[in-house]
Chains A and B, each alone.
Chain A
Amino acid sequence: MEAVLRIEHLWVEGRLPGNDYVPIVKDVDFTVRQGEVVALIGESGSGKTTISLAALGYARPGCRISKGRILMGDKNILELSNKEKRALRGRSTAYVAQSAAAAFNPAMTIDYQVTESPVLHGLMKRREASARAIEIYRRLDLPHPETLGRLYPHQVSGGQLQRLMVAMALSCNPNLLVLDEPTTALDVTTQIEVLTAIKEIIRQQNTAAIYVTHDLAVVAQIADRILVLFGGEVQEHGTTGQIVGHPSHPYTLKLMRAVRPVPKTTLSVSDSQKPEEPSAGQPLLRVKDLTAGYGRIKKKVVLRDVCVDVPPGTVVGVIGESGCGKSTLARVIAGLLPPISGEMSLAGHALHPKIKMRSKKELQRVQIVFQMPDVALNPRQRIRDILGRPLEFYMGLSSSHRKQRVHELLEMVELSSNLLPRYPGELSGGQKQRVNLARALAAEPDLILCDEVTSSLDTLVGAAVIDLLNNLQKQLNLAYMFISHDLSTVASFADTIVVLYAGRVVEQGPLQSVIAPPHHPYTRLLLSSIPELRPGWLEDVITSREAMTAISHAVEITDVGCPFFKRCAMAMTGICDLQNPPLRTPVSGHQIFCHRDIADLQKAASGL
């Protein structure tokens, strides 16, 4: 096969404060052939994005390509002028960024943005380009390809937008496609949809591609060859089969260990005999018939009749795709969003819906930790002040006591205390998330609401944060409400699981009875969507009929019937779409809301 891109002895340097340059990519050497997908894998800071950008002849501000050759055909693109590089970009090389929502201009139609590049490069007239765009939409399996282009970016779902960005990249028929973490920001179910589309279109177009990610399980599905990077150097290089099947380098092994195993779905003997007392004591937090929504005059209901109990010292995992109301639930409990109706109580005492009416003591006992460490910490406050404020606010500690306590808090989250005078911008993502957690711990709460705390971190860092949460929970006897779209993370340490779909609880109960085996069709979908570290998993998933029906629809909030009706493989028309599903309790403490009876559900589960 013909080599589309050859990178030879590439060195990239970055500028430190004070004009010193340090190498951030060291002597990287690889080739991408036609129709081949080469994956660059490593954690953040390993230089994978820098290398992929260098393949386009681009270095980010503060960086420079210092040595090496980047050959596209027989041209060294580093020797081209800026004008020639511009002619190359978009036309023969194309880039797909991580966040499609940020890459599309909300004020222009999709068609205009997808066809911009061929028109700009003078390859096609707008009309031709639009016709070709429709062809690409069809190949990417997007709904209504003929009229899709007339929509604006906010009118399509996140997964569709991500596929549209691939369409944008393919509009000029490039020789080389660079995909930078295209599925990292997505739900597991949406990830399948986008991965399938990307894989299929690369096969059809026979383009070469560089795929950048930190997720080995994803790479195993799509890559032909893998480069494992650490600290800007190639640690291991081989075919996907070699790397995944027989990793030899210790760093590759470390990455593989961080991939969470798919939770067991068969009941082992010891599990079934585990005492499942739906804790006789009073729950720490009780949420009853909670309905909440947004909008001032006409509320759009996002949560409907949600009942959840959090016993003291336990972990309740809340799972569901984006748009299911998980974060809304956390916000309502924290008092940030007064509900429309429903009751909440903390250790038996009613919790006022409005934050202003809650006592300091009540506020102190429930703390919230947000998803994005970058926006959860004020960039203009030093770590010392961020951690010191809750101590001053809740406990009224004097400054010397505060100082000591802040040191202890940093120790608890395994950070060094020389971070204290720094600003959040100087910390890595994992460090920020630890500070974020330490701020919640500072209040000495009984319950921490963790809203997708690991979703924006890469696998290794995320795994370390989960371990930390686990240890802290045991040490301090905390209760967590752990919100995530990733069932494998939740299953690794939750005691009970609440499955939310379109604002309603569809199933909840102790971890083992919910997932081993999974009863509700939606729980089953979530379980089967967790990527497995074996080549060929993606094909297996999409060939099952269940996944196909489920993946072709997005989350929709309905007023009547079962919300999951449209995506459910077991749906019964005439019943499921018209009546609210009844409650079924196979064992005490385990609730399933489904029209199918337990026997049917169990039969379906055993077929998994």
Chain B
Amino acid sequence: MNEPGVTTRNEPRPNRADDEFDTEPLAITGPRRLELGTSAWVGIGILLLWLFVAFFGPALSPYDQGEMISYDSFSPMGETLLLGGDFIGRDVFSRLLFGARMTMGLALIATVLAFLGGIILGFTAAAAGEWVDQILSRINDAIMAFPSIMLALIVIASLGTSTSVLILTVCLIEATPVFRLARALGMDISVMDYVEVARARGESVWWIIRREIFPNTLAPLAAEFGLRYTYSILFISALSFLGLGVQPPQADWGAMVRENLMGLTYGSLAPLIPAAAIGSLTISINLIVDAFLALSNRDISEEMI
């Protein structure tokens, strides 16, 4: 998105005619591109921390995720249990470290799949138009018409609870808005003259999607990816909270909130810690997305001038 080559225009160019009144345009630019604000850096910091946890958490955790350490429910924080114990005496800290990989990983796989499907079908609808567009768009509308949690309940209830079913369900639900966005972006680009030229050259729809449309929609799609990833985390957490997501004894932040909910009445922090983890992760991603959106918008406003 920010190739260094784009803004360097300093090297001298030979004049094409030796004419004293030939000019080259000056490259006047606004503020430089990769100037991210503090909030974006805060977001990046938090995200890096969680990524570190997701990669190395299980190796660093003092106990296994299923290991029962204490015979008490909701033991307070202390030497052995850094962040206290959960409802059956497992270590909340260890489960948080294990859960990071599960929560972030599942959401990432689901979002990537959703984007692959949504973008390919959306661009196809935009580039092919006519009946292809009609069929794809109406199917998409039909899926979107179901409330997402209801749809997930139906799919999981009929196919059973497993990680792959969970991923595919989230993928299906997240792919629908991606399809809409990709189709709208593709429609805008596909009427541009450079796409017309490619069409007149005889290029295939697939080539036009890959080489003409996709590179020009990267910025908004990247921003949408951040957003959709957050939704996926929340959605998987919500399903886990309902007992339809990640199954015990595996740790997942959403499931951890649900398991330990009754701890609230005993003044335990066990349900609040994973909730805070979900919150901080989603907020960090949103901060980054906002910063990139602002950057890409400024790109556009510069082009307008």
Contact = CB atoms under 8 A, between A and B. Distances in A.
Q: Do A and B bind each other?
A: yes
A377 B194 contact: yes
Contacts of B25: 44-45, 428
A423 B197 CA distance: 17
Nearest to A421: B5
B10 A61 contact: no
A376 interface: yes
A14 B28 contact: yes
Interface stretch (B41-49, B85-93, B148-156, B198-206): B198-206
A14 B26 contact: yes
A377 B211 CA distance: 12
A314 to B, nearest CB: 22
B202 A375 contact: no
Contacts of B147: none
A16 B28 CA distance: 5
Interface stretch (B16-24, B72-80, B135-143): B16-24
A334 interface: yes
Given A355-B199, A415-B16, A421-B5, A426 B194 contact: no
Interface string B32-55: 100000000000000000000000
Interface string B291-305: 000000000011101
A61 B197 CA distance: 33
Contacts of A423: 3, 5-6
Contacts of A45: 23-26
Contacts of A331: 196
A370 B197 contact: yes
B10 A16 contact: yes
Interface stretch (A261-269, A274-282, A378-386, A519-527): A378-386
A544 interface: no
A425 B193 contact: no
Given A17-B8, A17-B10, A61 B196 contact: no
Interface string A358-382: 1010010001101110011111110
A404 interface: no
A150 interface: no
B27 A390 contact: no
A349 interface: no
Nearest to B195: A378
B5 A16 contact: no
A43 B23 contact: yes
A426 B194 CA distance: 17
Bin the interface of chain A by size.
35 or more
A378 B215 contact: yes
Given A17-B27, A17-B32, A63-B28, A336 B194 contact: no
B162 interface: no
Contacts, number: 119
Interface in A41-63: 43-46, 60-63
Contacts of A415: 16
Contacts of B26: 14, 16, 22, 24, 45
A503 interface: no
B163 interface: no
Interface in B159-211: 192-194, 196-197, 199-203, 211
A154 interface: no
Interface residues of B, number: 43
A395 to B, nearest CB: 12
A75 B14 CA distance: 45
Nearest to B301: A61
Contact of B23 (A17, A231, A416, A421): A231
Q: Which of A22, A230, A425 has the most CB of B within 10 A?
A: A425
Nearest to B20: A250
B29 A375 contact: no
Contacts of A334: 200
Contacts of B17: 414
Given A61-B302, A381-B211, A416-B13, A368 B197 contact: yes
Contacts of A336: 196, 199-200
Given A45-B23, A390-B201, A414-B16, A372 B193 contact: yes
Contacts of A44: 25
B135 to A, nearest CB: 16
Given A370-B193, A372-B193, A17 B21 contact: no
Contacts of A360: 202
Q: Which of A16, A18, A46, A414 has the most CB of B within 10 A?
A: A16
A270 interface: no
Q: Which of B8, B16, B30, B31 has the most CB of A within 10 A?
A: B16
Contacts of A250: 20-21
B215 A17 contact: no
A274 B164 CA distance: 81
B16 A363 contact: no
Contacts of A370: 193, 196-197
A590 B51 CA distance: 76
A418 interface: yes
Interface in B273-293: none
B7 interface: yes
A393 interface: yes
A211 to B, nearest CB: 21
A171 B9 CA distance: 43
A355 B202 contact: yes
B216 A380 contact: yes
A15 interface: yes
Interface in A25-49: 43-46
A375 B192 contact: yes
B29 A376 contact: no
A393 B32 contact: no
Contacts of A14: 26, 28
B212 interface: yes
Contacts of A16: 10, 26-29
Contact of A363 (B10, B202, B215, B216): B202
A16 B10 CA distance: 9
Nearest to B303: A425
A345 to B, nearest CB: 18
Interface string A298-330: 000000000000000000000000000000000
A-B pairs with lowest CB-CB distance, top 10:
A14-B28, A380-B215, A61-B30, A376-B193, A370-B193, A363-B202, A378-B194, A62-B30, A17-B7, A428-B25
Interface of B: 3, 5-11, 13-14, 16-17, 20-21, 23-32, 192-194, 196-197, 199-203, 211-212, 215-216, 218, 301-303, 305
Given A19-B32, A61-B302, A421-B5, 16 more contacts: A15-B29, A16-B27, A16-B28, A17-B9, A24-B28, A60-B305, A62-B28, A251-B21, A254-B21, A360-B202, A372-B193, A376-B194, A380-B215, A422-B5, A423-B5, A426-B9
19 contacts: A17-B29, A24-B26, A24-B28, A45-B23, A60-B28, A231-B23, A250-B20, A335-B200, A336-B196, A355-B200, A367-B200, A370-B196, A370-B197, A378-B216, A414-B17, A416-B14, A416-B16, A426-B9, A428-B25
